[in-house]
Homo-oligomer: A and B are copies of this chain.
Amino acid sequence: VSEAAESLDIKARRARARRGEGERLKQEILSATEQLLAETDDFSKISMRMIAERVGVSPPAIYMHFADKDELLFELCEDRFGEFRKVMQEARSSTDDPVGAVRACGRAYVQFALDHPEHYGVLFLSKTEFPTDVTVEELNGYRAFLDLVAAVQRAVDEGRYRDVDPTIAAIGLWTSMHGLVSLLIRAPNFPWPELDVLVDHVLDVQTRGLAVDPKDSQSAG
């Protein structure tokens, strides 16, 4: 394969960056890694050599921008979590109804995961050992979670959800959506029913499960 590519000059070697433009290669490495993830969906099966070849650069060139393979994964994760957070924010802002906002968020979560299974895998399916000098609070992923807690809090404040701990309820929402998509991705051989039916059911159960108790609904109103 690589022989053919060489002899046919299919993959031209990338033009070398000018001074001060080293950052360009860094971005190219990150996006090449994503491309490869899109194809194999497993970071551990992607080698530094494969990434280098995709970029059109020699393997050691990667080490000018990343200390090692783990650091590359970590930066990729942070970028993806930033994007993920934005998508969730947009979904929530599509409506003023706090319960509807949470539902929209759930739908967008599933959409994001199935549209980008490779991203999703990096974010939630691999066991990530993060650098010890990074605390969980400064991670984009954790910030996205706090956004969800706030959305739940709003629904509680407006009397739409019963008086649950918003952190617990947010974890419940998160884990239920995660469970669905991770099994959809990881167990493709399972005889799944239609996706929309499934997502609707999961969101229905969450909505009903978090709704105010019938007996309390009058005293609360």
Contact = CB atoms under 8 A, between A and B. Distances in A.
Nearest to A129: B189
Interface stretch (A22-30, A51-59, A96-104, A171-179): A171-179
Contact of A167 (B171, B182, B193, B206): B193
Interface residues of A, number: 47
Contacts of A211: 208
A76 interface: no
A130 B189 CA distance: 9
Contacts of A202: 172, 175-176
B125 A191 contact: no
A205 B209 contact: yes
B183 A197 contact: no
A136 interface: yes
Contact of A186 (B124, B193, B210, B214): B124
A92 to B, nearest CB: 20
A42 B42 CA distance: 13
A6 to B, nearest CB: 31
A219 interface: no
Contact of A179 (B41, B179, B205): B179
A174 B202 CA distance: 11
Interface in A100-127: 124-127
A204 interface: yes
Contact of A125 (B125, B165, B167, B178): B125
Those 4 A-B pairs whose CB atoms lie nearest each other, nearest first: A179-B179, A205-B209, A175-B179, A209-B209
